[in-house]
Structure 1
Amino acid sequence: MKAIILVCVLAVTSVWGQAKPQLRFAWKEVDYAWDTPADKENAIKDGKFVSAHNLPLGLARWKNKLFITVPRWKNGVASSLNYVDVDGPQDQPLKPYPSWKDNLVADTEKSLPSNNSIISVFRVFVDACDRLWVMDSGLADILGSPNQVAGPSLAIFDLNTDQLVHRYFFKVDDMKEDSFFANVVVDVDKDTCDNAFAYIPDLGGYGVVVYSLKKDDSWRVSHHYFHFDPLAGQYDVGGIKFQWTDGVFGLALSEPRENGYKTMFFHAFSSTKEFCVSTELLRNYTHLDKDEAFHDFKLLGDKGERTQASASYYDPKTQVLFYTQVNRDGVGCWNTNKPFTVENNALLFSDASLYEFPNDLKVDSEGTLWLLIDKLPRFIYKGLDANEVNYRIYSISTTDAIAGSACQA
């Protein structure tokens, strides 16, 4: 009984005793910074822009740019990779990145119009070397008439020049029949930018693809812990009940450990458990005994019922792992210096009207936590009300976010 009381007290104090995130951006429907009104009219006429089908999903901050992705869930997504000005208006239109020409692509295309073209992006990552890593699934009109315009690829942009510096298409061996790549995290030191590694979870094929920039090569890592938990596939968000079988999706990297390698925290989307593994294993996986390597993946623990998380991010400043709480309309956290228990996994803030389906979060170089809310289940299963605010982006400093919670040191 004492443990139950403690959990309840932590839940109340952590949700209500904190500083609240600041609303930075909000939209009823997404629009873009068109070059001319005629361009917009033509895009609508040609079916390249259907406003109601454009849903923001991923984000990342670099200087005064806040990147926002819009996957091609349905037909008529005008631009999948975009940004807004951090110091700009709350409802400013999205600006295609790196250009309109690279994003305004017909859903029926049979190949990439150019090597710079962006088809459908879920998540992006800004690394320590001022580069934007873009995981392009290459799949258009996912929920309608799916069209694999091009194979999954990583596109890497130099943020100082806005130029594409490299694009890597996944190998056949990297993929399974049900593979779906929607996330990427990058492991690199700012002093050795050419020795970067990217880790890309396969939420449909239950694996992780590792990419080496120096070798320009990739390999697939398999493990039971990458699969979804059949007892955690039930969701209830915004009054909509649904079942998902998404496997490994949320990845987060610690600071370097004593041996120079980082810890990768990971979880399946449809799971309440958290796991970890050293990046040393991921980088050298092709040379390891797979039976021995199996045991180097560790279970950290279980966050508790209804704690499925779409995204997570490790903040080196506070040594706290932040993660979305899609079934609880909020954000949770765990201080990595404490045991991984239900009591030590705090619900920082929760509000069904403000944070319905927190989809992505990132911590920027200044220690600010950014959070994107998008009502994805309504978008998929019901449709959104264009008269309501449907998409929101919040920010809060990581130290303010955890103050007074179980995640504070």
Structure 2
Amino acid sequence: TNIVLDDSRSSASRHSSTCDNLFAYISDTVAPGIIVYDGRRDNAWRVTHASMYPDPDLGEYDIGGEKFTLMDGVVGLAHSPAQGLLYYQPLATDRVFSVSTAVLASGPPAEGTDLPVNLVGRKSSQGLGIAVDPRDDTILFSPMTETAIAAWNPITNSHRVLAQDSEKLQFCAEVRWAERDNGAVWALSTRFHKYFKRSVSKHEINVRVLRVKEPGYGGGYVPIHPHVLRRAANF
């Protein structure tokens, strides 16, 4: 489960003096859907869509040659205030989807109404953590098989790999753009697959908090060809 807070409507509201004027979007992985909570009205509702369910063809994962199967639905969430979009991805998929936050915030959908979901793009493999760089709305994510942190801008279609490490970046559960750290990207790698398969060793480092410094801060990321991964030493 992930929670994203949306306070983008606060400045235009007479209730902006309180921190309650926000929406929270909560992923439900087991019963795939997104729960929307309206803080000002203290009300909540649930939305669902076929895209939030796991893809049966992508329920097997391969991390460093270690394979496991997990059919998890929507889990990763990221908010783009500038685009007015909530990005999301199930664990068992190679796709990223989006839905308008205006639609989510408008209240419970009428019976029989389809949620207007868009397919944003496809990744090289499955992943959990996802984030947005608000400076240019680049999507940050961590493809599991490649044990990497990558960036993709859906507006310009530019692809970048920020870091790759076959040991340190195993199963990144969280990826975050750090506003107060000069644009660095923080990641939480967990080696969850080893816990899941009960092959974890107490003699190894299994949980890491990693800081990936953006190369050439202020000048943008270093662009490379899509899906081509390279090693970065900026850990």
**TM-score, with length taken from structure 1:** 0.49
Q: Point out the more displaced range, 387-396 or 312-321.
A: 387-396
Alignment match, 1:365: 179
RCO comparison, higher one (Cα < 8 Å, 6+)? 1
Q: Which runs of 5+ in 1 are unaligned?
A: 1-181
Query: 1:299 and 2:119 equivalent?
Result: yes
Q: Give the 4+ runs in structure 1 shifted more than 6 A.
A: none
Query: 1:222 and 2:42 equivalent?
Result: no
In structure 2, C-alpha distance between the alignment counterparts of 1:270 and 1:255, rounded to whole Å = 26
**Contact 1:312–1:322 (CA<8 Å) still a contact in 2?**
yes
SS of match in other structure, 1:264: strand
**What is the RMSD computed on CA atoms of the aligned residues?**
2.2
**Contact 2:123–2:143 (CA<8 Å) still a contact in 1?**
no
Q: What number of residue pairs does the alignment pair up?
A: 214
In structure 2, C-alpha distance between the alignment counterparts of 1:400 and 1:228, rounded to whole Å = 37
SS of match in other structure, 1:231: helix
CA 1:359–1:400: 2 relative to 1, 3 Å: farther
Alignment match, 2:142: 324
Deviation of 1:384 (Å): 2.4
Deviation of 1:282 (Å): 0.6
Query: 1:187 and 2:38 equivalent?
Result: no
SS of match in other structure, 1:286: coil
Alignment match, 1:387: 203
Q: Which runs of 5+ in 2 are unaligned?
A: 226-235
CA 1:245–1:185: 2 relative to 1, 3 Å: same
CA 1:278–1:315: 2 relative to 1, 3 Å: same
In structure 2, C-alpha distance between the alignment counterparts of 1:399 and 1:289, rounded to whole Å = 49
Match of 1:213 among 34, 39, 42: 39
CA 1:328–1:363: 2 relative to 1, 3 Å: same
In structure 2, C-alpha distance between the alignment counterparts of 1:188 and 1:376, rounded to whole Å = 32
Query: 1:356 and 2:205 equivalent?
Result: no
CA 1:325–1:240: 2 relative to 1, 3 Å: same
Match of 2:71 among 229, 232, 245: 245
CA 1:337–1:399: 2 relative to 1, 3 Å: farther
SS of match in other structure, 2:58: coil
Give 1 or 2: higher helix fraction: 1
CA 1:220–1:397: 2 relative to 1, 3 Å: same
The residue type equivalent to 1:316 in the other structure is P
Q: Deviations over 1:105-132 (max 9, x none)?
A: xxxxxxxxxxxxxxxxxxxxxxxxxxxx
Query: 1:267 and 2:89 equivalent?
Result: yes
Task: Tell me the percent identity.
Answer: 27
Alignment match, 1:36: none
In structure 1, C-alpha distance between the alignment counterparts of 2:216 and 2:191, rounded to whole Å = 26
**Contact 2:160–2:221 (CA<8 Å) still a contact in 1?**
no
